[in-house]
Amino acid sequence: MNKKILSAVVGIAAVAGMGASAASAATLDDVKAKGFVQCGVSTGLAGFSAPNDAGDWSGIDVDLCRGIAAAVFGDATAVKFSPLSAKERFTALQSGEIDVLSRNTTWTMSRDTQLGLNFAGVNYYDGQGFMVRKSLGVNSALQLSGASVCVQTGTTTELNLTDYFKANDMTYNPVVFEKLEEVNAAYDANRCDVYTTDQSGLYSIRLGLSAPDEHMVLPEVISKEPLGPVVRQGDDQWFNIVKWVHNAMLNAEEMGITSANVDEMANSTDPNVMRLLGKEGTFGEGIGLGNDWAYNVIKEVGNYGEVFEANVGASTPLGIARGVNALWSKGGLQYAPPLR
Amino acid sequence: MAHQTGVSADADDAGRVSLMNDPKARGLVFQALLIIAVIFLVYSGVSNAIDNLARAGIASGLGFFGERAGFDIGQSFIPYTNDSTYLRAFFVGLLNTMVVAIIGIFLATVIGFIVGLARLSKNYLVQKFATVYVETLRNIPLLLQLLFWYKAVLSILPSPRAVGLEPGVEVVFNLNNRGLYMPRIVPEGGAQFILFAFIIAVVAWFFIGRWAKKRQMATGQQFPVFLTGLALVIALPLLTFLVTGMPMSLEYASLQGFNMVGGWVIQPEFMALLLGLSLYTASFIAEIVRAGILAVSHGQSEAAFALGLRPNLTSRLVVVPQAMRVIIPPLTSQFLNLTKNSSLAVAIGYPDLVSIFGGTVLNQTGQAVEVISITMLVYLTLSLLTSAFMNWFNSSVALVER
C-alpha cells in the first residue's frame, strides 16, 4: 500500500519536476550514461519473467531486455530489473523509473494513445483463458455461471472477464487482488472456483500450485492479448531500438541464425544476413548504435525461436507449443519487417 | 522595574521610527512573503504537472468519471453493475471504506473499553488476560495481523462443497471460505411500520430520560430510565410486527452450482479486515481508557464513597465523566488511524476506496495524478469530519470548570 502511494507520488513528482527530461530527452543517452538498461518486469511469472533461487531473472520478456542491453552495450548482462505489479507498471514507465516495460503487457488502443506510451511490437500472442479444478467437472467456460472468479486488478483480464460473462448472460462473483502471488494463493486456497488470466499465464501459474495435476485450463480463449514491450512516447530513437531488437531476433530465426552459428554466419555472402549482422550497410547508425548491434543480440541472447524454446517451449515445464507464435512462414503470426 | 519602564518608553518612541525597524510591520512582511512563496510553489508545481502531462501525451482531466467502468465489484452497498460509471464505482469504494471504518470504530471502542477496564480489574486472571491482549496486539504490525486473519484463519476454512452441504438444501448459518452465510430478512408490505415503531421508541426513550432527570432534580426520586427505554425499543417494534401480521420473511442460503446463493453473506475479506482493524485499534483504546481512569485522582472516588454513593454510581457519576476528558482527545486519533488503516484492505482483496478507485480505476484510466489526488482528498475529508464530530462531542461532555 505505502509502496504504491510512494511510487505514485514519485511518479507525480517526476512528471511535475523533471517531466521535460523524462519525456523528451534521449533515453539512449541516459542508458549509456548510467551503464545499464532498467527493465520493468513482472513480480514472477514463470517463462516470461521470473527470478530463480539465485536471483537471476529469466523468461522471454527478460530476454528481450537482455537483447536491448546487448544491442546498446554489447553485453546482455547490463540490465537491472524492476519487478512491478500490474498496477504500478505504467506509472513506473511514465515517470522514467524504468527505460522499457517488458512485462506481459497487453497492447490496447487506450494504453497506446492515452498513457503517453508506445507499444514497440508483440513478442507473444496470447489470449485470456480460464483455469478450474478438475473436481468441479466443468469442461467449458460456458458452464461457469455463478462461480467465484479470482482475477488480478489493473489488467485487461478484469474487463474481458466482465464482457464475456455479460455477453453470455452469466453471473459471477469477482475476487480481486493486486499482486499475482495473492491471486495465486487465493485460488490455491479455494477462495474461488475459477482463475482467469492470459492462457500462457495460467499454464505458468498452474505449475506453482500445490497440486498442479488437479487443475485444468478450459479450451475457450475469450480475448486477443498481444503482449509486447512498451516505451515512453516522444523518444523515437529509443522506440526504434526496442522495436528493432525484437525484429532482429525474428529475422534471425527466419534466416536460421542462432547464437551458436552466428560467428559462422557472419562470413555468409547472403546480403540479407550481411545486412543483419552489420557486414553491409549502416543500419546501426540509424538507431544510434554500432553496426554490430544485431550480431550482439543474437550472439548473447539468441533468435526468437531459441528464446521461446528455452523459456516456454516444449522442452520446459510449461510446454507451450509455438502455435500462433510461430513465424509467419510456418503458419504463425510472428512477422518482422525486413532489414533493408 | 526601572529598566522595564525604560524599555516601554523606547517602544513609545518607535512610532516615529521607520517601518523597517518596527517588529510588527517586519513580521507581517515576512509572513506575506512566505505565503506568496508557498502559493508560487504550489502554482508552479501544478502548472508544471499539467504542462508535462500534456507534453507526454498523458490524458488528463476529470472527464473519465462519466465513462462506463466496465468491471465488476465483489461487494457493493449501492446498486452497481459493470455498465455503471467510474463515478459510481468511486462511491461504491467510498461506501465500502466508510462501512468498514464505522463498524470498526464501533467494535474497537466497545472492545477497547472492556479490555481497558479489565486491565484495572482486581481479578488476577481477567487483568492478566487483558494485559496479554494489549501487549500482543498493539506490538504486531497491522498488515501482518490482517494477513493472519485472512490467510491463516479464514482462507483455510473448507469450501462450501467441502463442508458437506447438499446442493439446494437451505442452511441457517454456515461459515465456509466464501463467507459467513446467514438468513436475510426480506421485508414485505407493512414492514416500514416496524421501523417507525423503532424510531418512536428511541425518541420516547430520549424524552423519558429528560423527564426523569427533571423529576429527580425536583423531587429526588429516581426512575429506571435504561430498563424502561430498553423495554420500549424491544417491545414496540415487536408488537408492531405481530399486529401488522408478521410482514417479514427469512431467506436462507443454499448451495447451488459453484456457490452459495441467497441469504445474507459477510465475505471473508470484510471479516478479516474488520477483525484486524478493530482488534488492533482496541488494544490502543484499552490503554487510553486505562490511562483516563487512572488519571482521576483516588480521592474523587473516596469522596464519592464517603457521600454514600455505591461503586456503580461512583464510577458512572464521578470517575467516568472525569476520565472522559482525558480519554476523548486521544480516542479521536485512534478513530482517524482506524479509518486510514482501512486502506490496507488492498492487501487482502477487500474492495475499498484504494482498491477500487486508487487501484482498478487508476489502472484502467491511467490518470494517476487525478485519481491519487482525489483519493488523498477523500481520506483528508473523512478524517477532518471525524475530528470535527469528536471535537463537538468532546466539548459537549467536557466538565465545566470554574
First to last CA, chain A: 49
Whether residue A18 is predicted with pLDDT greater than 60 in this model: the reply is no
Which of B14-28, B173-187, B319-333 has the highest mean predicted lDDT (pLDDT)?
B319-333
Tell me the whole-structure pTM to 2 decimals: 0.79
Whether residue B110 is predicted with pLDDT greater than 70 in this model: the reply is yes
DSSP state of A290: -
- Give residue-wise pLDDT tens across range A96-148: 999 999 999 999 998 999 889 999 999 999 999 999 999 888 989 999 988 99
Per-residue model confidence (pLDDT) at position A11: 47
Q: Do residues A36 and A29 touch, judged by C-beta distance below 8 A?
A: no
Beta-carbon count within 10 A of A81 CB: 22
Name the least confident of A24-28, A114-118, A173-177: A24-28
Measured between CA atoms, how close is A234 to chain B, in angstroms? 7
Beta strands in B144-298 (DSSP E): 170-171, 174-176, 179-182, 184-187, 248-251, 253-256, 259-261, 264-266
**Mean pLDDT calculated for residue range B3-28:** 65
**Mean pLDDT calculated for residue range B70-98:** 92
Beta-carbon count within 10 A of A99 CB: 29
**DSSP states along B280-291:** HHHHHHHHHHHH
Q: Which chain A residue lies closest to B43 (C-alpha atoms)?
A: A16
Per-residue model confidence (pLDDT) at position B2: 45
Q: Compare CB distances from A185 to B51, B71, B151 and report the shortest one's residue.
A: B151
Degrees to nearest 5, angle at CA B297 with B295 and B300: 130
Whether residue B160 is predicted with pLDDT greater than 50 in this model: the reply is yes
Cα–Cα separations (whole angstroms), residue A332 to A63, A124, A125, A221: 21, 11, 10, 17
B58 contacts A94? CB cut-off 8 A? yes
Amino acid letter for position B385: L
Per-residue model confidence (pLDDT) at position B207: 93
Residue B91, C-alpha cell as written in the block: 462511491
pLDDT > 70 fraction of chain A, expressed in percent and rounded: 93
Per-residue model confidence (pLDDT) at position B402: 59
Q: May I ask the CATH class of domain A129-223?
A: alpha beta
pLDDT > 70 fraction of chain B, expressed in percent and rounded: 95
Q: With respect to CATH, is domain A2-125+227-330 assigned 3.40.190.10?
A: yes
Beta-carbon count within 10 A of B173 CB: 11
Mean pLDDT of chain B: 88
Q: Which chain A residue lies closest to B82 (C-alpha atoms)?
A: A162
What radius of gyration, in Å, describes the C-alpha atoms of chain B? Answer: 29
Q: Which chain A residue lies closest to B49 (C-alpha atoms)?
A: A16
Residues of B numbered 270-309 whose beta carbons fall under 8 angstroms of chain A's beta carbons: which are they?
Answer: none
Helix or strand (DSSP H, E) at B237: helix B225-243
The residue with cell 442452511 is B171
Residues of A numbered 141-160 whose beta carbons fall under 8 angstroms of chain B's beta carbons: which are they?
Answer: 144-148, 153-155, 158-159
Per-residue model confidence (pLDDT) at position B12: 52
Per-residue model confidence (pLDDT) at position B401: 65
- What three-state secondary structure class fits A258? coil
Q: How confident is residue B24, by pLDDT bands cut at 50, 70 and 90?
A: confident
A15 contacts B55? CB cut-off 8 A? no
pLDDT > 90 fraction of chain B, expressed in percent and rounded: 47
Q: How far apart are CA B104 and CA B341, in angstroms?
A: 11
Residues of B numbered 11-50 whose beta carbons fall under 8 angstroms of chain A's beta carbons: which are they?
Answer: 45-46, 48-49
Q: In what order do the strands lie in the sheet with B170-171?
A: B170-171, B253-256, B259-261
Residues of B numbered 153-182 whose beta carbons fall under 8 angstroms of chain A's beta carbons: which are they?
Answer: 155-156, 158-159, 162, 177-178
Whether residue B113 is predicted with pLDDT greater than 90 in this model: the reply is yes
B343 contacts A9? CB cut-off 8 A? no
A87 contacts B362? CB cut-off 8 A? yes
- Give residue-wise pLDDT tens across range A179-238: 888 899 999 988 899 999 999 899 999 988 999 999 999 989 999 999 999 999 989 999
Q: How confident is residue B16, by pLDDT bands cut at 50, 70 and 90?
A: low
Per-residue model confidence (pLDDT) at position A179: 86
Instruction: Of B179, B183, B153, B184, give the one whose Cα is nearest residue B259.
Output: B179
Name the least confident of A4-18, A159-173, B19-33, B258-272: A4-18
Q: How far apart are CA B11 and CA B21, in angstroms?
A: 11
Whether residue A77 is predicted with pLDDT greater than 60 in this model: the reply is yes
Q: How far apart are CA A285 and CA A275, in angstroms?
A: 13
Mutation target vs A (from B42, B44, B58, B73; most A CBs, 10 A cutoff): B58
Contacts of B163 in chain A (CB under 8 A): none
DSSP state of B359: I
Q: How high is the ipTM of this complex?
A: 0.74
Per-residue model confidence (pLDDT) at position A3: 47
Q: Compare CB distances from A154 to B74, B151, B359 and report the shortest one's residue.
A: B359
B343 contacts A110? CB cut-off 8 A? no
Per-residue model confidence (pLDDT) at position A224: 92
Q: In what order do the strands lie in the sheet with B174-176?
A: B174-176, B179-182, B264-266
Whether residue A265 is predicted with pLDDT greater than 90 in this model: the reply is yes
B268 contacts A19? CB cut-off 8 A? no
Q: Name the segment(s) of chain A with CATH classification 3.40.190.10.
A: 2-125+227-330, 129-223
Interface residue B53 vs chain A (CB under 8 A):
yes
Per-residue model confidence (pLDDT) at position B163: 76
Interface residue A17 vs chain B (CB under 8 A):
yes
Per-residue model confidence (pLDDT) at position B15: 53
Residue A49's DSSP bridge partners are: A45
**Mean pLDDT calculated for residue range A20-39:** 80
**Mean pLDDT calculated for residue range A300-305:** 96
Q: Do residues B292 and B326 touch, judged by C-beta distance below 8 A?
A: yes
Residue A237, C-alpha cell as written in the block: 530513437
Residue B88, C-alpha cell as written in the block: 459510481
Per-residue model confidence (pLDDT) at position B167: 79
Amino acid letter for position B190: G
Whether residue A10 is predicted with pLDDT greater than 80 in this model: the reply is no
Interface residue B198 vs chain A (CB under 8 A):
no
Beta-carbon count within 10 A of A197 CB: 30
**Mean pLDDT calculated for residue range B380-399:** 89
Whether residue A6 is predicted with pLDDT greater than 80 in this model: the reply is no
> What residues contact A225, with CB distance under 8 A and at least 6 apart?
A106, A125, A126, A127, A128, A156, A198
Q: How far apart are CA A102 and CA A82, in angstroms?
A: 10
**Mean pLDDT calculated for residue range B211-235:** 88
Helix or strand (DSSP H, E) at A253: helix A236-255
A234 contacts B55? CB cut-off 8 A? yes
Instruction: Of B114, B198, B161, give the one whose Cα is nearest residue A193.
Output: B161
> What residues contact B90, with CB distance under 8 A and at least 6 apart?
B65, B353, B356, B357, B361, B374
Interface residue B256 vs chain A (CB under 8 A):
yes
